[in-house]
Structure 1
Amino acid sequence: MENEKPIMNEVDNSSNEKVVALNHLESNGNAPISQKDPGGFTIPDPDAHLSAEEKAAIDKKLVRKLDWTLIPILCILYLLAFLDRTNIGNAKIDGLQKSLHGMTTGQYNATLSIFFVSYAVFEPLTNILLKRLRPSVFIPIIMVIWGICMTFMGFVYNWSGLMAARWFLGMAEAGLFPGINYYLSCWYKRSEFGIRAAIFFSAAAVSGSFGGLLAAAIEKMNGLGGRPGWAWIFILEGIVTVLFGISAIWLVHDFPDDAKFLSEQDRERVIRRLKLDQQSSAEHEEFKMKYVWMSLKDYKMWLGMIIYMGCDMPLYAFSLFLPSIINELGYSSTKAQLLTVPPYAAAAILTIVIGYIADRTKQRGLCNILVSFLGIAGFAMLLGSQKAGVKYAGTFLGALGIYPCIANTISWVANNIEGVYKRGVVLGFVIGWGNLNGIVSSNIYYKSPKYTVGHAVVMAYMIVCLLGGSVVLRILLARENKLRKAGKRDHWVEGLSDHHVEALGDMRPDFYYTL
């Protein structure tokens, strides 16, 4: 055990290197059945008697099991959530405004804004509820509630009814996106989280494609049951959400220490691999207000909020108004719905590719910086030209520059915040603030067909917040890593017990940030 400390200090934040180092000790008979994590706590190892190759095979099989059990259902849930919050854009070009007594553009934008108010207000609280109520209880409850809200949106007869429905829809949906990202971070190592978050978020881009196709088909139900086509978009998609919400009781699993689909040994393996990755998120931790204050004093949270607003506001502007933008190019309602599909499909592919690259290179900030240039170029094309071909190409670049940065930013923030509740609070604030900027998205696209104000504001957000914020955060994290490697932060743990050292989370001198 005397050789353990130097080995742990020699490696960076790559958990794979740590596992190799520990496996080398174990395979040579120099280690007992368990090792100590960086904070000094014993980590049970059910595979201590196996060779490094056998351990690697078991680990690969375990991760594959987690992927097939967790990821598919989460993708479906988020696809439904994003479809339900943005299908109002499809309903608009199918006659929503005319049906509701000639609803004005200002009133329509208000219905978009009200969603983000309730969504952002309740979002910072939801990860605490998720942890305390368990995912298998919390997620089905909010899904059924927002599915009911969605269904009743198909029966509104005036603007005030639509406003009320959108308020409650935002409140119910508030817990899903931050909750699932936090949930995934409690299952996977930091070097594995990005690609999973990207696959999960790609469901949003898929929902854009799926939503356009679905809306084009559903609008043909116009007049059935005395309801217009746009109403059937809300009714049918709401019913599907309720049904999936009920099934989520059995399909959504709890955190690693309680997951029923894992054996006792597999639960120990999951917790062990997270602890060796400098994470304590798999274990129980009592909630204290100090975690909120720790979050509020952390500059990474505030910069994360700036970066996330730089891609989240453009995301909602794009998804809510893409059907209208294409419709203004002179295409019919049905064709406009169908033409929204290709940009989303391209965005879904690039989101997964960037997630893979960021995981392998551990350069999430650099990925944000490079991808943001695509979005900036796309909205510059939309702003500078009125040619249909150029503007449609601009929507492709816009989608490619926005969607990958959403998942990558959340992964970047999650990678660099340690502690069960602190990470939950930080993600809640970051995502909540980003979604609050959806109010801006809802009120900048009002002068068709040029939409000059809308495209200019989106560009400003991407240049200042997404690009500028990513550059600043990366510089600060690289500087801090350099100081920690040089031993300039070692005095933070002088005289502290192992327990108190671990409680420092990402403030531990041996915790290296992902750049």
Structure 2
Amino acid sequence: MSKEEATIVEVERDTPKAQQDEVPLYNPHIDVSGVDEKKLLRKMDWQLVPWLSFLFLLSFLDRTSVGNAKLYGMEQALHINDTQYLIALTVFFIPYAAFEVPSNIVLKKLRPSFWLSFLMLGWGIMMTIQGLVHNYSGLIIMRWLLGAFEAGLFPGVTYYLSCWYKRREFGFRAAIFFSSATLAGAFGGLLAAGLSQLAGVGGKGGWAWIFIIEGLITVVAGVLSFFIIQDFPDTARFLTEEERTFVVRRLQADGQISTVGEKLKWRYVWQALTDWKTWLGMALYMGNEGPLFAIALFMPSIINQLGYSATPANLLTVPVYVLACVSTCLVSWLADRYGGRGWFNIGCLCTCGAGFLILITSRNAALSYFAVYLAACGIYPCVPNVVAWMSNNSEGSYKRSVSLGMVISWGNLNGAVSSNVYRAQDAPWYTLGHGILLIYIGIGLTCSTAFIVLMSRENRKRERGERDEVIKGVNEDRNDLVCNGVFASVEEARREKGDRWSGFRYRW
């Protein structure tokens, strides 16, 4: 059996029967029988995932290093109090959330290699200048600009990767990409401890050198990204014509018929805005991001208040993040392999919730430090798991980009809340902050359960034929159809309705 025939067999096995009809073959004149799928996947993985993960590592490092800098005299040097510090954290999230949806639309219209690189270069410059500010106003302005430029990276790369991989392959890649955030947490503590030793050089404090050096690294990475980042599968320079064709056909076989060549139509944007999954997904992601940002921003301070000085507090964050990285990759690999992302999400949120319950009740430093492990290892896997879950259940290139942008932007906006929950007057046990984050976790658990129930119910309705469309010349004479319009072909119904098409099956 040829490779192409094997691919067709796989399509027939994995795709509902209604989904197999009238799928036009991409580049039908190209013979892809000589393409080895496993080697092609490895080639894609090495070309796409490592560099994008490195970029996200820099992004997360740059946005959270303010927590490390705080321990090395930033507040004293800029003459700011705790309230002003919390406002500076909050300001970042306003443009960060506001610009994510527009950025995803621009990414689709422009080339990813240009847009993502431009964003990186911009935030690297802002990060560097942040180390040169002399007062509170300067810090506020730079934090706002940093949020504006960083806004497009995470939703942009998430959408971008979904245009390369099948739904059952996407979660693990997204987890590797996102796990770089945990490495950023670990590396950030080590880097901050090292860069703080530059205190006094050039008349700058150790806190300033943390921003300056990290910013310059990002600037260099932004310039290199113009040459390293690839565009979409149908134009990728590192693939042969046969490989490009094979990748696109794989996506078509997985139901992603509009990944390539889809034109912007505002009704696709409207579909995202009016989809119940988008709004429920926003609440679900909010339940994950609130605790995540709080942990990322305040873990050094929490450990510091447990009795450890600045450098040990930063260094003690390292093993927490390393274990969280392992947990993130393991959960996503299992979810890709066995399905059931909703159940994995519930399990991880319960683990995180257990950590915060211990933090609220414990008055022992060692036990509280153990609880930080539970909280981090529970919440970090939730983010790529939810992103993959939302992506898997949103069909249509533009609709998916807008839906993901809305989900991620609303979740990130809650960083403005969670960046204010750990107040100085609540140290060292931060009972109020931990309690607020438990509320977020409760929201995540409720929405995860709702998704499982609603998606399984909708799938059953489609299996019973309650969502079938009228196809001209095929089933026009049927009177028992519950449909939204009449279509010339199955292909047209799929293209116009996306995941609302009766042959699409939700994965929960």
* TM surpasses 0.5: yes
Please give the alpha-carbon distance, in whole angstroms, between the structure 2 residues aligned to 1:172 and 1:325: 29
Q: Return the alpha-carbon distance in structure 2 between the equivalents of residues 489 and 381 of structure 1.
A: 47
What is the match of residue 64 of structure 2?
A: 86
Q: Does 1:395 align with 2:366?
A: no
Number of the residue aligned with 1:454: 433
Aligned to 2:337: 360
Q: For the Cα contact (< 8 Å) 1:38–1:278, is it kept in 2?
A: no
Could you tell me which residue of structure 1 aligns to residue 503 of structure 2? 510
Please give the alpha-carbon distance, in whole angstroms, between the structure 1 residues aligned to 2:313 and 2:157: 32
Q: Which residue of 1 aligns with 2:482?
A: none
Q: Distance in 2 between matches of 1:492 and 1:370?
A: 41
5+ long unaligned stretches in structure 2: 1-6, 476-485
Q: Distance in 2 between matches of 1:157 and 1:16?
A: 63
Match of 1:175? 152
Q: Which amino acid aligns with 1:510?
A: G
CA shift at 1:156, angstroms?
0.7
**Structure 2 Cα separation of the partners of residues 442 and 144 of structure 1:** 26
Secondary structure class of the residue paired with 2:233: coil
Return the TM-score normalized by structure 2. 0.92
Aligned twin of 2:89: 112
1:236: which partner in 2?
213
Maintained 8 Å contact 1:39/1:502:
no
Deviation, structure 1 residue 287: 1.1
Contact 2:12 2:20 in 1 (8 A): no
Distance of 1:497 and 1:366 partners within structure 2? 39
Instruction: Provide the rounded CA distance (Å) in 1 between the counterparts of 2:184 and 2:148.
Output: 20
Distance of aligned partners of 1:315 and 1:284 in 2 relative to their CA distance in 1, 3 Å threshold: same
How far 1:41 sits from its partner (Å)? 2.1
CA contact (8 A) 1:188 1:274 kept: yes
Q: CA deviation at 1:173?
A: 0.3
Deviations 1:28-49 (A, max 9, x none): xxxxxxxx95453234467868
Read off the aligned partner of 2:449 and give its amino acid letter: V
Match in the other structure for 1:32: none
Q: Which residue of 1 aligns with 2:480?
A: none
Matches of 2:408 and 2:58, distance apart in 1: 18
CA distance in 1, matches of 2:85, 2:327: 32
Q: Verify the 8 A CA contact 2:356 2:438 in the aligned structure 1.
A: yes
Deviation at 1:16, TM superposition (A): 9.2
Matched, 1:259 2:259: no
The equivalent of 1:500 in structure 2 is: 492
Structure 2 SS opposite 1:490: coil
Cα gap change, 1:378 to 1:21, in 2 (>3 Å): closer
Paired residue for 1:6?
none
Indicate yes or no: 2:447 matched with 1:469: yes
Alpha-carbon spacing, 1:140–1:371, altered in 2? closer, same or farther (3 Å): same
Q: Who is 1:26 aligned against?
A: none
Contact 1:151 1:235 in 2 (8 A): yes
> Which position in structure 2 is the counterpart of 1:30?
none
Describe the shift of the 1:508–1:106 C-alpha distance in structure 2 as closer, same or farther (beyond 3 A).
same
Change (3 A) 1:288 1:215: same
- Supply the distance in 1 between the matched residues of 2:270 and 2:460 (Cα, whole angstroms): 26
The 5-angstrom pairing of residues 148-159 of structure 1 reads 148-159=125-136
Bigger Cα displacement from structure 2, 198-207 vs 124-133: 124-133
Aligned match of 2:25: 42
Inter-CA distance 121–397: structure 2 relative to 1 (3 Å threshold): same
Q: Is the 8 A contact 2:30 2:245 kept in 1?
A: no
Distance, in Å, in 1 between the alignment partners of 2:138 and 2:264 is 38
The C-alpha deviation readout for 1:303-333, integer Å capped at 9, x for no partner, is 1101100010111000000000000011111
Work out the CA distance in 1 between the residues paired with 2:161 and 2:352.
Answer: 27
Aligned pair partner of 2:252 in 275, 279, 304: 275
For residue 411 of structure 1, the aligned residue among 371, 388, 394 is 388
> How far apart are residue 93 of structure 1 and its match?
1.1
Q: What is the CA RMSD across the aligned residues, in angstroms?
A: 1.8
Cα distance change of structure 1 residues 506 and 492 upon mapping to structure 2, 3 Å threshold: farther
Equivalent pairs counted in the alignment come to 482
Contact 2:31 2:242 in 1 (8 A): no
Query: Is contact 2:32–2:243 with CA below 8 Å preserved after alignment?
Result: no
Give the Cα separation in 1 of the matches to 2:115 and 2:61. 20
Number of the residue aligned with 1:198: 175
Letter of the 1:423 partner, please give it.
R
Aligned-partner residue type, residue 139 of structure 2 = L
Say if 2:44 is the partner of 1:61: no
